[in-house]
Amino acid sequence: MVRHRLKDVAERAGVSVKTVSNVVNGYVHVRPDTRARVEEAIAELNYRPNLSARNLRKGRTGVIAFAVPELDIPYFAELARHVVTAAAELGWTVLIDQTGGGREQERVVASGITEHLIDGLIFSPLALTAEDLTGLAGTPMVLLGERVDHGPADHVGIDNVSAAREITAHLAGLGRRRIAAIGSQRTPEGASARLRLAGYTAALADAGLAYDERLVAPAPAWHRADGAAAMRGLLTSGVRPDAVFCFNDTLALGVLRALHEAGLRVPEDVAVAGFDDIEDGRFSVPTLSTIAPDKERIARLAVELLAGRIDGDRTAPPRELSAPWRLAPRESTLGR
């Protein structure tokens, strides 16, 4: 298992180091027989280029980072999968970073702790605002999520307001009149929450339903446990919703759990809708109605935008791209 270098290959093939480099890099003007000799030597020695050296020379590493708050949040795990796949197709390797979602940690990631190791960054911030990011961007960056709409870098998202509006309208269309919303956040970090709440209120107005503050439950984070806690809170507070729009699927799974514990039937007593279309929701009992963003497209757009930044103009104004989504009605609103 000896490591070989260009020099070793060159000696074996009887050519110069640079000629071997040319063969490795697909340079055109190499005589067929020379090329063959070199390739034979490469195969015999099982030569692999030293990426550190190549990177040092070229100023590129061929690695991009994907930074998410937590790896085991299903939505991010699924997104990560698509990012890795899309990046591989373009010849990039992906380094996955876990920020923990804290503001300071995110700042560290954004300001490039891994600088010189990565060529660019796809970043899903939870806590950082657009202002936080301004000036930090040393490496090319693409932002995901609604947190930093119109920030200082390229951004890929979906139209949260329209999507939230449509799924709320779906609930109203089923005849539900007391539609709760779970997941609101008053903190400056809650950009997605604000947009989805806006879609919710717009749909209520469309349906001629009054906005009732008591039906809007905050959730500090959007995990299953938060959804369950919020639902229990709604139930004990005495407001009796006949439908719940959860701002993401994990919240909704927690809500299903809480409703089950309370002995309420879904959707007969309470219809439940989520947002994100994670795999779990297709197998939960009942299956979960949700908004299904095109995650593959989001990942692909992000990778392409980033590649464009890395290879091309870094000073062009930030681009805002939107990925499609669709309503996925399932048992938690429609029944069986």
Partner DNA sequence: CCTGGTTTGTACAACGTTGTAAGCAACGTT
Partner DNA sequence: AACGTTGCTTACAACGTTGTACAAACCAGG
* One residue of 1, 31, 72, 312 binding DNA per CB under 7 A: 31
Kindly state the smallest distance separating residue 5's Cβ from its own copies, in Å: 11
Q: Pick what 161 binds: DNA, its own copies, none; C-beta below 5 to 8 Å, kind-dependent.
A: none
- Site stretch for DNA (CB under 7 A), options 21-29, 130-138, 156-164, 252-260: 21-29
**Binding flags for DNA, 50-69, as an x/- string (CB under 7 A):** x--xx-xxxx----------
Task: Tell me: does residue 129 bind its own copies (CB under 8 A).
Answer: no
Q: What token pair was written down for 199? A: 């879609």
Dihedral (Cα; 285, 160, 156, 104), 10-degree rounding: -80
Task: Tell me: does residue 85 bind its own copies (CB under 8 A).
Answer: yes
Q: What token pair was written down for 313? A: 């103009």
Q: Among residues 25 and 236, whose Cβ is nearest to DNA? A: 25
Q: Where are the alpha helices (DSSP H) in the chain?
A: 6-13, 17-24, 32-45, 51-58, 74-89, 103-110, 130-133, 160-173, 191-206, 224-237, 249-261, 295-311, 331-334
Q: Pick what 34 binds: its own copies, DNA, none; C-beta below 5 to 8 Å, kind-dependent.
A: DNA
- Site stretch for DNA (CB under 7 A), options 19-27, 104-112, 148-156, 180-188: 19-27
* One residue of 24, 30, 45, 95 binding its own copies per CB under 8 A: 95
Q: Among residues 78 and 304, whose Cβ is nearest to its own copies? A: 78
Can you tell me the distance from the alpha carbon of 125 to that of 227, in angstroms, rounded to the nearest whole number? 21
Q: How many residues does the chain have?
A: 336
Applying the rule CB under 8 A, the residues between 59 and 78 that interact with its own copies are 61, 63, 70-72, 74, 77-78
The one-letter amino acid code at 132 reads D
Can you tell me the distance from the alpha carbon of 95 to that of 117, in angstroms, rounded to the nearest whole number? 10
Identify the sign of the CA torsion 51, 52, 54, 55.
Answer: positive
Applying the rule CB under 7 A, the residues between 260 and 279 that interact with DNA are none
List Cβ neighbours of 75 (8 Å cut-off, separation of 6 or more): 248, 249, 250, 276, 278
Task: Tell me: does residue 137 bind its own copies (CB under 8 A).
Answer: yes
DSSP, collapsed to helix, strand or coil, labels residue 43 as helix
Element (H, E) at 95: strand 93-98
Judge contact between 275 and 246, C-beta under 8 A.
yes
Q: List contacts with DNA (CB under 7 A).
A: 3, 5-7, 14-19, 21-22, 24-25, 27-31, 34-35, 47, 49-50, 53-54, 56-59
Q: List contacts with its own copies (CB under 8 A).
A: 1, 48-53, 55-56, 61, 63, 70-72, 74, 77-78, 80-81, 84-85, 93-98, 112, 114-117, 137-138, 224-225, 228, 253-254, 256-257, 260, 279-280, 282-285, 287
